[in-house]
Amino acid sequence: MTTGHGPGPKFAIVGAGPAGFYAAEALDIECPGAEIDIIERLPTPFGLIRAGVAPDHQTTKTIQDAFEQIAQRPNVRIVGNVEVDRDVTIAELAQFYDAVVLASGAPDDAPLDVPGGDLPGVYGAAEFVGWYNAHPDHAGLEPLLDRDSVVVIGNGNVAIDIARILSKSAAELATSDIAAHASERLAQARISDVHIVGRRGPLEAKFTTVELRELGELEEAVAVAESHQIPDAVGSDLSPRDRRVKGKNLECFKSFAQADPSAKARRIRFQFNARPLNVLGNGRVEAICFERTRVENGQVTGTGETLEIACGAVISAIGYRARPLGGLAVSATGDRLTNTDGRIAPGLYVVGWLRRGPSGKIGTNRTDAEEVAALIRSELVVGDKPGLAGLKPLLASRNVRTTDYVDWKKIEAAEIAAALGGEPRRKFATMHEMLAVLGA
Amino acid sequence: MTYVVTEACIKCKFQDCLQSCPATCFYEGENMLVINPEECIDCGACEPECPAEAIMPDTAPDAAKWVEFNRKYSALWPNIRKQGFVPDDADDWVEVEGKLEEHFSPAPAAR
Ligand SMILES: Cc1cc2nc3c(=O)[nH]c(=O)nc-3n(C[C@H](O)[C@H](O)[C@H](O)COP(=O)(O)OP(=O)(O)OC[C@H]3O[C@@H](n4cnc5c(N)ncnc54)[C@H](O)[C@@H]3O)c2cc1C
Ligand code: SF4
Ligand code: SF4
């Protein structure tokens, strides 16, 4: 491994998720000869590919292979187990690197801001998904899944992922890499009904058709919708793209509205036009109350009519929040850093969810990173910066045990070796276990 | 498992599909794109983006011959990462049938 102090530009990327990898690739193309260090707080790279994308969507996770090819380029290095703000500051990185690119995502849940929203049994999607995907921050969640019903609030693919994981049989999950603690808890749970509740109607929902269709093909659960909530056709005011996409979603909802709720042992129930009023319960979640809504001119208004659903847990998948890394300004929406086309300050840039907010698929981050890399090249001033040769001694002086790509492969090999039955791997859920593999 | 580009793409080539692909697995012929089945991660992101509805999963009826077609031409054509030149008359070709026999060009895109 070169810890060079070569003549090329030195780039630090903060966060080894999709945006970080695409930024590394794009900078390598834009600025040949650059040395690129990807700083990541976990010893395991890939961000939400590992910790967000559903454990039963293994083919989507194979994008990891493309990122590994980037990681193996001789001028690209992963500097893992290093958390910016805790172990090193952005100002320090700026001393060592010609440009710093922030790619640390939007990892926190938008709060469910209603009375009772803090009762035990209310979870945010980031923590719940992190729990079933063995993210070390959330592995200890121990969610209450001891009643028949769970309510998932939100109308995006994350809500569908959560409902599907809660509704799949042990056999269906056997080929996933769901955290062992989660599959055990789900096997003990006896959830019969998962309600997916959205503020707006079926045509405003952000689900993709592929995810909806999958709900129609589950072994033990049937997807159901209420026919009076499903319109006959999509509006003619939509763009051609929306008409196409919403039209396909509508076909799914229509078939769900025809489905027999007792056809299988469990149900995933779509409930539209309802916004949360308050979570009810004595010391824990026992029910949640919604107000019926109407959408007028794109605005959601309450009708005064209410709907109560008895449930043991509420999972809100209503969006994410960015962290104010380095004390930098967060946008008014709370979900990204304030930036102009990816630029925060001279030499300081942002890509991915932290730039655009938490929406878009994996590939959206590629186009995003390519734009910012072109901007970086156009503004680049190459000083005599040391890059990793400067950063390493500083981290060592602070007793930070950094990990690299080879370490990740050792952790991965241990996870694959520990897999049982049809599992692709058995994930470590704590930093301690990961570092133990490395003898640290 | 892969998604494939089918006949409807011929002479349309809107290239809206490219933007969303995480795996940069599209390859460009003179008047059509194809997907490399070995590189596609089967995420489905491109399918809804195609105005010609030319993209389908390999599980769709009829898809088998298109998998072979995509495999063959992705090996012969150059990789395309970003939207390039979109033909002016792209919209006129969306509904046309029988394009494979009449209009398909096996030539790689000129670069
Ligand atoms: C539940 C869920 C499911 C999804 N499923 C899909 C799907 O099936 N298909 C699809 O196309 N898209 C999916 N997405 C979207 C996709 O995951 C995102 O578009 C993408 O991950 C965003 O990339 P990012 O690099 O900006 O952020 P992230 O993936 O969040 O990566 C950020 C990285 O930065 C690291 N980091 C954070 N803070 C620091 C710090 N202080 N110092 C150092 N490192 C730090 C994190 O550990 C992480 O590795 C899903 C998203 C979620 C939430
Ligand atoms: S969007 Fe559809 S028609 Fe256009 S190039 Fe892609 S596959 Fe072909
Ligand atoms: S399915 Fe996904 S990986 Fe495959 S071509 Fe489409 S966007 Fe690319």
End-to-end CA distance of chain A: 20
Clarify whether residues A130 and A265 are in a common domain: yes
d(C-alpha A370, C-alpha A356), whole Å: 14
- pLDDT at position B13 is 73
* pLDDT, tens digit (0-9, with 9 covering 90-100), for A203-234: 999 999 999 999 999 999 999 999 999 999 99
Output the CA torsion sign for A132, A135, A136, A137: negative
How many inter-chain contacts (A to B, CB under 8 Å) are there? 55
Find all residues with CB under 8 Å of A151, minimum gap 6, and list them: A194, A195, A197, A288, A309, A311, A313, A314, A315
Cβ within 8 Å, pair B22-A18: yes
Find all residues with CB under 8 Å of A316, minimum gap 6, and list them: A109, A110, A112, A122, A123, A124, A125, A152, A153, A154, A276
Per-residue burial over A255-280, b = 16 or more CB atoms within 10 Å of its CB, e = otherwise: ebbebeeeebebbbbbbbbbbbbbbb
Q: What is the mean pLDDT of residues A43-67?
A: 97
Residue B95 has pLDDT above 80, yes or no: no
* B98 lies in some domain: no
Name the nearest CA neighbour of A324 among A316, A332, A312: A332
pTM over 0.80: yes
Clarify whether residues A70 and A93 are in a common domain: yes
DSSP string covering A311-364: -SEEEE-S-EE---GGGPPBPTTSSSB--BTTEEETTEEE-THHHH-S-S-TTH
> Residue whose CA is closest, atom 2 of ligand 2?
B50
Find all residues with CB under 8 Å of A291, minimum gap 6, and list them: A274, A275, A277, A302, A303, A304, A305, A306, A307
Q: What is the mean pLDDT of residues A24-42?
A: 97
- Percent of chain A whose pLDDT exceeds 70: 99
Residue ending a domain, choose from A291, A316, A341: A316
- pLDDT at position B1 is 81
Residue A62 has pLDDT above 90, yes or no: yes
Are A21 and A60 in contact by the 8 Å Cβ rule? The answer is no
What is the pLDDT confidence band of residue A1, given thresholds at 50, 70 and 90? Answer: very low
Clarify whether residues A176 and A274 are in a common domain: yes
What is the pLDDT confidence band of residue B93, given thresholds at 50, 70 and 90? Answer: confident
Cβ within 8 Å, pair A363-B42: no
- Beta partners for residue A80, in sequence order: A403
Q: Which domain holds residue A92?
A: 2-107+322-437
* pLDDT, tens digit (0-9, with 9 covering 90-100), for A109-138: 999 999 999 999 999 999 999 999 999 999
- Percent of chain A whose pLDDT exceeds 90: 94
Give the one of A59, A361, A370 whose C-beta lies nearest to B42's C-beta: A59
Name the nearest CA neighbour of A164 among A96, A215, A206, A203: A215
d(C-alpha A118, C-alpha A109), whole Å: 13
What is the pLDDT confidence band of residue B21, given thresholds at 50, 70 and 90? Answer: very high
* pLDDT, tens digit (0-9, with 9 covering 90-100), for A400-439: 999 999 999 999 999 999 999 999 999 999 999 999 999 9
Q: How far is the CA of B3 from the centre of ligand 2 (A)?
A: 12
Q: How far is CA A365 from the centre of its chain?
A: 13
Q: Which residue has the higher pLDDT, A31 or B98?
A: A31
What is the pLDDT confidence band of residue A365, given thresholds at 50, 70 and 90? Answer: very high
Clarify whether residues A200 and A79 are in a common domain: no
Structure tokens at A282: 């004595």
Structure tokens at A126: 């980031």
* B111 lies in some domain: no
Residue B68 has pLDDT above 70, yes or no: yes
Q: What is the mean pLDDT of residues A337-349?
A: 97
d(C-alpha A430, C-alpha A439), whole Å: 15
- Suggest the residue from B43, B59, B94 to mutate for an interface test with chain A (most A CBs closer than 10 A): B43
- pLDDT at position A159 is 98
- The domain that holds A138 is classified in CATH as 3.50.50.60
- pLDDT at position A298 is 82
- Which residues from A are below 8 Å from B when comparing CB atoms? 18, 59-60, 62-63, 66, 208-210, 240-241, 244-245, 248, 361-367, 370
- pLDDT at position A131 is 98
In chain B, the number of structural domains is 1
- The domain that holds A346 is classified in CATH as 3.40.50.720
Q: What is the mean pLDDT of residues A154-182?
A: 97
* B46 lies in some domain: yes
What is the pLDDT confidence band of residue A2, given thresholds at 50, 70 and 90? Answer: very low
Amino acid at A287: A
Cβ within 8 Å, pair B43-A367: no
Name the nearest CA neighbour of A221 among A155, A166, A151, A141: A166
- Beta partners for residue A74, in sequence order: none
Clarify whether residues A232 and A311 are in a common domain: yes
Q: Which domain holds residue B15?
A: 3-80
What is the overall mean pLDDT for chain A?
A: 96
Distances (CA, A) of B69 to A377, B33, B110: 39, 11, 20
Clarify whether residues A179 and A292 are in a common domain: yes
- pLDDT at position A126 is 98
* B37 lies in some domain: yes
Q: What is the mean pLDDT of residues A161-172?
A: 97
Query: What backbone torsions phi and psi does residue A30 show, to the nearest 5 degrees?
Result: -70, -40
Clarify whether residues A219 and A289 are in a common domain: yes
Residue ending a domain, choose from A316, A335, A361: A316
Query: Given ligand 1 and candidates A53, A59, A364, which is best to mutate, with the most ligand atoms within 8 Å of its CB?
Result: A53
* B65 lies in some domain: yes
Clarify whether residues A91 and A138 are in a common domain: no
Clarify whether residues A141 and A34 are in a common domain: no
Q: How many helices (H) and strands (E) does chain A have?
A: 16, 17
d(C-alpha B17, C-alpha A264), whole Å: 37
Q: Report ipTM (2 d.p.).
A: 0.87
In chain A, the number of structural domains is 2
Find all residues with CB under 8 Å of A264, minimum gap 6, and list them: A218, A219, A220, A221, A222
- pLDDT at position A5 is 65
- Suggest the residue from A210, A248, A364 to mutate for an interface test with chain B (most B CBs closer than 10 A): A210
- The domain that holds B53 is classified in CATH as 3.30.70.20
* B90 lies in some domain: no
- pLDDT at position A3 is 44
Clarify whether residues A239 and A347 are in a common domain: no
Residue ending a domain, choose from A270, A301, A316: A316
Residue A15 has pLDDT above 80, yes or no: yes
* pLDDT, tens digit (0-9, with 9 covering 90-100), for A228-281: 999 999 988 888 888 989 999 999 999 999 999 999 999 999 999 999 999 999
Q: What is the mean pLDDT of residues B43-60?
A: 91
- Beta partners for residue A123, in sequence order: A315
* B22 lies in some domain: yes
The secondary structure element, H or E, covering residue A182 is: helix A180-188
B46 lines ligand 2 (CB under 6 A): no
What is the overall mean pLDDT for chain B?
A: 90
Clarify whether residues A166 and A271 are in a common domain: yes
* pLDDT, tens digit (0-9, with 9 covering 90-100), for A71-91: 999 999 999 999 999 999 999
Clarify whether residues A362 and A413 are in a common domain: yes
d(C-alpha A343, C-alpha B47), whole Å: 32
Helix H, strand E, coil C: the string for A199-247 is CCCCCCCCCCHHHHHHHCCCCCEEEECCHHHCCCCCCCCCCHHHHHHHH
Give the one of A63, A209, A241 whose C-beta lies nearest to B23's C-beta: A63
